[in-house]
C-alpha cells in the first residue's frame, strides 16, 4: 500500500488549468441627473461593482460624482462608559473620478479615524496596515490574557 501511495505522490496533479479564470470586475452603467433643478439631464455613469452610492440623486456637476463602498467599522469602547463608543475606525473603498490628485481617481482604501481625519491607502499600504493590525490584535489578545490571569490571582488572595 505504501508503494502505491509513494508512486501516486510522484504523479503530478495539475489542477490549475481546471479552475476557470475569474472575470475582471466590470463597472455598471447607472443613471444620474446632472444640472440645475428643472433643467437636469439624465446621464449614465460608470459605477464600480463595489460602489453603494445611490447616484440617482440630482447633482449640479458631473465632477461631483464620487464612488464609495459600504463602510466597515471597528469600535473601541470603554467599561467606564459602556453606552458610548470611545473611538470609531471606518474603512471603505473610494474613487473620485474628477479629483485633481490622480491617486484619488483610482480605487483606494479610506480609513476614517473620526474628527475629519482620513488616511488614503493604496493596496500595498493597506496590506502593510493589515499586517500591523494582525500583530496588534495578537498583542491585544496576549495582554488581555495577562490581565485576566493577574486579576484571577489577585482575587484568590
User: How is residue 81 written as a grid cell?
Assistant: 462608559
Domain map of the chain by residue range?
A: 25-65
pLDDT (average), residues 91-99: 97
**DSSP bridge partners of 119:** 111
Q: Residue 132: which H helix or E strand, with range?
A: helix 123-155
pLDDT greater than 70 at residue 18: no
User: Confidence class of residue 3 from pLDDT cuts 50, 70 and 90?
Assistant: very low
Least confident stretch, 5-14, 17-26, 140-149: 5-14
User: How is residue 130 written as a grid cell?
Assistant: 493589515
Nearest-angstrom CA–CA distance, 70 and 63 = 21
Nearest-angstrom CA–CA distance, 82 and 97 = 41
pLDDT greater than 60 at residue 137: yes
pLDDT greater than 60 at residue 6: no
**Rounded (to 5) percent helix, strand, coil in the chain:** 35, 30, 35
Is there a contact between 3 and 14 (Cβ–Cβ < 8 Å)? no
Continuous H helices in 82-122: 102-105
- 52-62 pLDDT, tens digit per residue, is 999 988 899 99
pTM, full prediction: 0.76
Amino acid at each position: 500500500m505504501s508503494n502505491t501511495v509513494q508512486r501516486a505522490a510522484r504523479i503530478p496533479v495539475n489542477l490549475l488549468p481546471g479552475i476557470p479564470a475569474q472575470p475582471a470586475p466590470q463597472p455598471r452603467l447607472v443613471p444620474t441627473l446632472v444640472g440645475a433643478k428643472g433643467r437636469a439631464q439624465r446621464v449614465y455613469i460608470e459605477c464600480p461593482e463595489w460602489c453603494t452610492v445611490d447616484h440617482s440623486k440630482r447633482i449640479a456637476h458631473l465632477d461631483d460624482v464620487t464612488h464609495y463602498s459600504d463602510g466597515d467599522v471597528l469600535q473601541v469602547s470603554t467599561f467606564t462608559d459602556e453606552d458610548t463608543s470611545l473611538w470609531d475606525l471606518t474603512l471603505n473603498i473610494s474613487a473620485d473620478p474628477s479629483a485633481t490628485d490622480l491617486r484619488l481617481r483610482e480605487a483606494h482604501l479610506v480609513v476614517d479615524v473620526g474628527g475629519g481625519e482620513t488616511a488614503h491607502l493604496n493596496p500595498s499600504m493597506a496590506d502593510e496596515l493589515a499586517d500591523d493590525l494582525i500583530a496588534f490584535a495578537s498583542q491585544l489578545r496576549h495582554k488581555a490574557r495577562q490581565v485576566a490571569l493577574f486579576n484571577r490571582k489577585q482575587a484568590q488572595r
